[in-house]
Amino acid sequence: MPHPSRRSFLSLLAAAGAGAAWFPMQAGAQPAWPTRAIRLVVPQGPGSGSDVIARLLGDRLAQHLGQPVVVDNQPAANGLVALGSAAKAAADGYTLVLVGVSQVAFNPALYKNLPYDPAKDFRYLAPVADTPFVLVASNASGIQTFAQFVETAKRKKGRMTFGSAGIGNSTHIAMELIAATAGVKLEHIPYKGSAAAFTAVLSGEVDAMVNVVGPSLGQVEAGRVKAVAVLGGTRVPQWPRVPTVREAGLDVPPMPGWYALAAPAGLDSAIATRFDAALRKVMAEPAITARLTELSLSPMTGGEAEIRQRAVADTAFWGEFIRRHDIRVE
């Protein structure tokens, strides 16, 4: 039987089209918006994947909306600080937040007490980009293929190490899924951010990690780290010889890495409609598509329904996985 908290959460998600819990609507005269700068809260620090997306889209949205879009980086605790503050902001269209799948689908299972409710506290506006993940191994490990990764893990019997951007981060959860499905035990070494964890792989301090593809490209191509398998549904164009994990023989779903824009619950529907129109224009710009592709990000289109569909599926699968394997942050 589903866990009570997960059951209620999924019920709110599924009821989005009929009720106001997931995407609340307000009636009334159309407000004059925007008349001042818009704050875009980002749950990671400068230079991170979400920060790059936020600044790229923010610059173009400012042109279409006629007001500055100011990025407000609030890194810490898997997005709890950022989403907690955004949830408490006024629902007037002047606070937006770039959310990731981990804050929406993972955190409810990882934390007993969230400072926000992903099903009630936000109006989700539109998906923007998806990022693929890759399993990389240090040169010091000697691992060249996924089969060697599994063989090495079995031989070391729990002493093979992997880094992550922190407990409960996507880079952690993805490796736990690989280990559980392959039937191996690994030693987890959490770091303060994916950059620090990747540096540890490069230096040979840890044997491997799951990282987003973008920051890994240059180091893989330079031969400083080995790309073992991609955790997506297709291979990465830059690495045609690197198989997906499924192609390598492990039956696991693609690791989700989507980002979406949201606002505090109660946002006026007229504002949401105007923002959606501006965002669609931005996402249709060839320069934006080219830049996202260059960063190994897949541009996404759609609106509230698309986020709802992804959120329901990811909350069900990953929430259950996290609980079943007793992965906790507190």
**Segment 122-170, tens digit of pLDDT:** 999 999 999 999 999 999 999 999 999 999 999 999 999 999 988 888 9
For residue 185, pLDDT beyond 80: yes
Instruction: Evaluate whether 121 touches 266 at the Cβ level (below 8 Å).
Output: no
Q: What is the pLDDT of residue 46?
A: 83
**Residue 212 and residue 133: Cα distance in Å, rounded?**
4
Lowest mean pLDDT among 23-37, 99-113, 227-241: 23-37
* pLDDT score, position 16: 47
Domain 133-230 falls under CATH 1.10.3720.10? no
Confidence (pLDDT) at 26: 46
Torsion sign over Cα 123, 127, 131, 133: positive
- Between 170-182 and 146-156, two packed helices, what is the crossing angle to 10 degrees? 80
Q: 4-131+257-324 has which CATH code?
A: 3.40.190.150
User: How confident is residue 50, by pLDDT bands cut at 50, 70 and 90?
Assistant: confident
Domains in the chain: boundaries: 4-131+257-324, 133-230
Q: How far apart are CA 299 and CA 291, in angstroms?
A: 10
DSSP 156-210: HTT--EEEESSTTSHHHHHHHHHHHHHT---EEEE-SSHHHHHHHHHHTSSSEEE
**The three-state (H, E, C) secondary structure of 108-130, written as one string:** HHHCCCCCCCCCCCEEEEEEEEE
Q: What 3-state DSSP class applies to 48?
A: coil
What pLDDT was estimated at residue 24? 44
CA–CA dist 38, 61 (Å, integer): 10
Give the residue from 316, 328, 321 showing the smallest Cα distance to 5: 316
Share of the chain above pLDDT 90, in %: 71
So what's the pLDDT on residue 78? Answer: 81
Name the residue with tokens 């129109």.
277
> Among 4-8, 77-81, 318-322, whose mean pLDDT is lowest?
4-8
**H/E segment holding residue 154:** helix 146-156
E-assigned strand segments in the chain: 38-42, 69-73, 95-100, 122-130, 133-138, 161-164, 187-190, 208-212, 225-230, 258-264, 298-299
- Compute how many other C-beta atoms are within 10 angstroms of the C-beta atom of residue 218: 10
Percent of the chain scored above 70 by pLDDT? 90
Supply the pTM of this predicted model: 0.82
Q: Is the pLDDT of residue 84 over 90?
A: yes
Q: Determine the Cα–Cα distance for residues 163 and 197; give it in Å rounded to an integer.
A: 5
